[in-house]
A and B are shown apart, each in its own frame.
Chain A
Amino acid sequence: GIQVEQSPPDLILQEGANSTLRCNFSDSVNNLQWFHQNPWGQLINLFYIPSGTKQNGRLSATTVATERYSLLYISSSQTTDSGVYFCAVGNAGGTSYGKLTFGQGTILTVHP
C-alpha cells in the first residue's frame, strides 16, 4: 500500500512564527487531505488538495503530485494552531477504493 511520511514529527514555535509541514507519499494519488486534530480530538478538514495550491486565511497548501509531496504552510502562528496535523492520501483506482492512508502526523506546539 501507499506509504505516507510526514516531517517534522514535532515542531515548537513562538506565536507569530511561520512554519512549513511536509508530506511525502510513495505512489500516485488522486486524493490528498490535510487535517488538524485539535486538543479535544476533533479532526478539522483543512484542505482537499490532490494537486495545485490553495489558500485559506493564514494557511496554504501546495501539492506537487508528480514529485509525490505536499506542503502545508502556517503563517503568523497562534496558540490555537497547536495540535496534530495529519496528511492523508488516497487513490480511487484499483482495489484501494479511495480509502485514506494517514501519515503519523506533526505535533505542533505554539507558545504565547
Chain B
Amino acid sequence: NAGVMQNPRHLVRRRGQEARLRCSPMKGHSHVYWYRQLPEEGLKFMVYLQKENIIDESGMPKERFSAEFPKEGPSILRIQQVVRGDSAAYFCASSPTRGAGTGVNQPQHFGDGTRLSIL
C-alpha cells in the first residue's frame, strides 16, 4: 500500500510529556499538510510543509507545537508539554507537486490519523 502512512495509530501521554507524530507522504508527493480533529468537530488545518520548508503555519497554536519535514525521512508534528486539550485525532495529508503559479490544485490524500490521548 503506497498510501500516506502515519504512526503511531494511537498514542497515550501524560500531561507534561512530549508527543511526536510521524507522517510519510505518498511516493512522489512533496507537499504535506497536518490537520487536527477535536472530539465531535470537523478537521482544522494546522500547517503546510514542503521539504525543509514551512510554507503556512497559520493554523498552529503559537506555543508548544512545531512541525518539520526534513530532506530525508517523515514529517514530524511535535507537541511539547501536552495538556488534556491536546487530545484529538491528528491527520496528515499529502499532495503531488503542482505547477507553480498556475493555480492548479491537486487532491490531498489522507492517512488514517494518530489518536492522541492525554491522561
Contact = CB atoms under 8 A, between A and B. Distances in A.
Q: Is chain B found bound to chain A in the same assembly?
A: yes
Interface of A: 30-31, 33, 35, 41-43, 45, 48, 50, 86, 88, 90-93, 95-105
B75 interface: no
A104 B108 CA distance: 18
Interface residues of B, number: 28
Given A30-B104, A41-B115, A104-B42, A35 B110 contact: yes
Given A48-B107, A92-B105, 15 more contacts: A30-B104, A30-B105, A31-B106, A31-B107, A33-B107, A43-B112, A45-B110, A50-B105, A86-B42, A95-B56, A96-B56, A98-B48, A98-B105, A98-B106, A102-B43
Main secondary structure of the interface of A (DSSP, over half): loop
A10 to B, nearest CB: 13
Interface of B: 31, 33, 35, 41-45, 48, 55-56, 59, 89, 91, 93, 95, 98, 103-110, 112-113, 115
